[in-house]
């Protein structure tokens, strides 16, 4: 992975002309895991954890690998992907607060589902009904983050 190549591409797509200012223009718009590998704008191949970034100043969009987003742009995609991996292995496990907030912001889960999840996120012993609801929400979010 080339930090220089990433910063050069982000600057090219930004309004600002310097890295410290250009990277502040970008927000995390969406995340997904995909089966077919692609190449990050930094040149890293293969990447399968994709982050869609949107420039808040000019509306441009770019797909970047999760590692670049975490290390260089310092957006919180890593916590979302860690939670997705954990739940993909055991759908009774809890997602992270970041993953729940992202799913709610995208409209994948309702206000009630968000509230339920955040109220039970730290509980290890759920009732059978609570566990069933957690699994249902987990499956919704896993389905939306697979391509």
Mean pLDDT, 10 residues at a time, the chain of 147 residues = 82 95 92 91 92 96 90 79 94 95 95 97 93 97 91
Domain boundary among the residues 75, 101, 130 is at 75
- What does the alpha-carbon distance between residue 33 and residue 14 come to, in Å, rounded to a whole number? 26
Domain boundary among the residues 49, 75, 101 is at 75
Same domain, 85 and 66: no
Lookup: tokens for 29: 């718009």
Residue 4: the pLDDT is: 84
Same domain, 87 and 60: no
Same domain, 33 and 14: yes
Residue 131: the pLDDT is: 96
SS3 98: helix
Cβ–Cβ < 8 Å for 95, 135: no
Total domains, the chain: 2
Residue 2: the pLDDT is: 64
Same domain, 110 and 90: yes
SS3 61: strand
Whole domain around residue 38: which residue ranges?
3-75
Specify the pTM.
0.81
Same domain, 9 and 71: yes
């Amino acid at each position: 992975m080339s930090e220089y190549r990433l910063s050069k591409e982000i600057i090219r797509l930004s309004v600002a002309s310097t890295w410290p200012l250009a990277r502040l223009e970008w927000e995390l718009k969406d995340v997904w895991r995909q089966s077919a590998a692609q190449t990050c704008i930094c040149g890293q191949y293969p990447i399968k954890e994709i982050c869609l970034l949107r420039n808040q100043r000019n509306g441009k969009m770019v797909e970047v690998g999760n590692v670049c987003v975490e290390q260089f742009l310092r957006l919180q995609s890593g916590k979302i992907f860690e939670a997705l991996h954990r739940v993909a292995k055991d759908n009774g496990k809890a997602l992270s607060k970041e993953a729940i907030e992202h799913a709610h912001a995208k409209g994948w889960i309702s206000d009630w589902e968000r509230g339920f999840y955040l109220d039970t996120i730290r509980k290890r012993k759920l009732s059978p009904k609570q566990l069933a609801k957690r699994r249902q929400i987990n499956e919704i979010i896993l389905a939306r983050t697979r391509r």
